[in-house]
Amino acid sequence: MTDLIIGSGPSGIATATALLARGRSVTLLDGGKLPEPEAIARRDALAARAPEDWSQPERAAYQAPQFAAPEGQTRRYGSDFAQEAAADTLAEGCDGFALRASRAVGGLSNLWGAAVLPYRQHDIADWPVTAEELAPHYRAVAGFMPIAGREDALDNLLPGYLAPGATQIPPPPQAEALLARLDAKRDRLRAMGVHTGAARQAVEAGCIRCGMCLHGCPWGHIYSARKTLETLKAHPRFTYRPGALVAGFSETEDGVTLALADGRTVTGTRVFIGAGVLETARLMLASAPGTPRELILKDSQHAFLPLLHRWRTKLRPDRPPHHTLPQLFAEIEHPDVSDRLVHAQFYTWNEHYARDLLQNYGARLPGSAPLLMAMSRRLIVAQMFLHSDHSARIGLRLAADGRLNARVEVNPDTGRVLDAAKRKLSRAMAQAGLVALGFAARPGAPGSSFHVGGTVPMAATPAPGQSDRLGRPHGLRRVHIVDASVLPSIPATTITFSVMANAHRIGAEAR
């Protein structure tokens, strides 16, 4: 029989890759959503010409749908295909919870910021799996997911897993200057408990720095699990069933049966669930005997800290070539802040900055538009992430209509750790000529980082509501969860690479 996989996002694709490498036959089912034909046409029209041949109205038209999106909704190519509306997943009364599900081909990897870091052993000390055990699976994932970056001092804390010959995307002027300044202060920063280095991004070497990263790369250079799916489709033991929404599952002595939303069923030897934490929670609450009535989702909360640089750049940062993905990373390792790493990723100029400044301050300061526009060209924003130990938790229950109810439990430690991290990062960045605008720091709502998981956490000896190290929920033998739902805790560093490595490990080890 065949192994079944639910979901074509990063975890599902990593699992499929591992299973096929073992000689297994795989059928992958997903929601099958793709950009609409008009969105594809919009993308292809830009990709047909070099960026220097795009007019300003063409650039503005490509970016306009994202600027017009409702709060919390992220678009690519002007389409909502990759993110389900909140009301489709969450029942009424969940307004303070910002996480969204995806039923797209490739899942939320169509929207991510492409930042790539592994987890550090100290930050996953509560897992039944070690960083050393994950290492070969990080390398396996790096074999099919491109990683751009450079070797630098950050490798001493968090390995890069760069492929031989991997190169860094050339940083824009602001990032180039900041990286040089931080490198010059490396020893002083390390003494402060701050480690810095160039960002590592899941981006192909062919990136031409057109600046459209936050609206959808016209050439698809930013990695999406869709790309690996296209490769897997050519495999003789791989079957793809798009548009097959799974409503529930059941397990027998020798296999599993999936109940589809259209009334059909699919059977297989095992099922590997990589539907994303919200859809996986829905399936568990609806199908798995012994599942608690409420699953507790762990968050890695985040906040934005704006900073202004004091130096002049060689070129205006708002003129291509440039990219708008994370440019550099900073890791705070200091007991006065947390006994876990606090991760920060820095974004130099992008087209959102001037709009945000004008919307927030323009009306209160008549005539300030030229000044605010100039400030936007000196603005650098740090996005800080906390370990789940210091973050909110969200209780998920199945509503009567099949959607999820979400109940947010605020963590009283969040504000203290964020404030301490903000102070530490502000002092560290002052060494490199940045002035932090602490008064303008903005925390994100629970779930808005999309770094979440832990609803069915792995444990060495799983109890009801937990899973074993192969992602099998207590009491089940042929059902494996492979997405972030099984992570016992959520470290501050980027989540997707580690979710993929753990999913690949489960696919390689499941028997």
- Confidence (pLDDT) at 360: 87
Report the share of the chain in percent with pLDDT over 90. Answer: 94
- Confidence (pLDDT) at 351: 95
| pLDDT single digits (tens) 339-377 | 999 999 999 999 999 999 999 888 888 889 999 999 999
pLDDT at 168 over 80: yes
Position 294 in a domain: no
241 alpha carbon, distance to own chain's centre: 25
- Confidence (pLDDT) at 365: 83
Position 63 in a domain: yes
Mean pLDDT computed over 240-269: 97
Position 383 in a domain: no
- Confidence (pLDDT) at 283: 98
pLDDT at 460 over 80: yes
Report the share of the chain in percent with pLDDT over 70. Answer: 100
How many residues can be counted in the chain? 511
Position 255 in a domain: no
Question: In 239-254, which positions are buried (b, 16+ CB within 10 angstroms) versus exposed (e)?
Answer: ebeeebebebbebeee
Mean pLDDT computed over 413-420: 98
Domain count, the chain: 1
CA-CA distance, 368 to 391, in Å (whole number)? 37
Position 208 in a domain: no
Domain residue limits at 58: 35-80
pLDDT at 182 over 90: yes
Position 470 in a domain: no
Between 307 and 320, name the one with better pLDDT: 307
Q: How confident is the model at residue 454 (pLDDT cuts 50, 70, 90)?
A: very high
Q: Are strands 442-443 and 434-436 parallel, antiparallel or unpaired?
A: unpaired
Q: How confident is the model at residue 123 (pLDDT cuts 50, 70, 90)?
A: very high
Do residues 81 and 36 touch, judged by C-beta distance below 8 A? yes
Q: How confident is the model at residue 380 (pLDDT cuts 50, 70, 90)?
A: very high
Position 342 in a domain: no
Mean pLDDT (the chain, rounded)? 97
Q: Tokens 């591992």 map to which residue?
A: 18
pTM above the 0.75 mark?
yes
Cβ count near 60 (within 10 Å) = 11
Do residues 279 and 107 touch, judged by C-beta distance below 8 A? no
pLDDT at 1 over 80: no
| pLDDT single digits (tens) 17-59 | 999 999 999 999 999 999 999 999 999 999 999 999 999 999 9
Position 193 in a domain: no
Residue from 444, 502, 465 nearest 299 by CA: 444
